[in-house]
Amino acid sequence: MGALLARERASLGLTQVQLAKRAGMTQAAVSRSETGSSSPGMRSLQRLAAALGLGFTLVLQRGDQAICEVAGGGPS
Using alpha carbons only, what angle is made at residue 21 by residues 28 and 27, rounded to the nearest 5 degrees? 10
Summarised one tens digit per residue, pLDDT across range 40-72 is 888 999 999 999 999 888 788 888 888 888 776
Give domain limits for the chain. Answer: 2-73
Task: For 3-27, write each residue's pLDDT tens digit.
Answer: 999 999 999 999 999 999 999 999 9
13-28 burial, b if ≥16 CB within 10 A, otherwise e?
ebebeebbebbebeee
Overall fold of domain 2-73: 434 Repressor (Amino-terminal Domain) (1.10.260)
- pLDDT in the model for residue 73: 53
Radius of gyration of the chain (CA): 13
Q: SS3 of 47, please?
A: helix
What's residue 1's pLDDT?
A: 87
pLDDT at residue 76, rounded to an integer: 45
Give the phi and the psi of residue 26 in degrees, each rounded to 5.
-90, 160
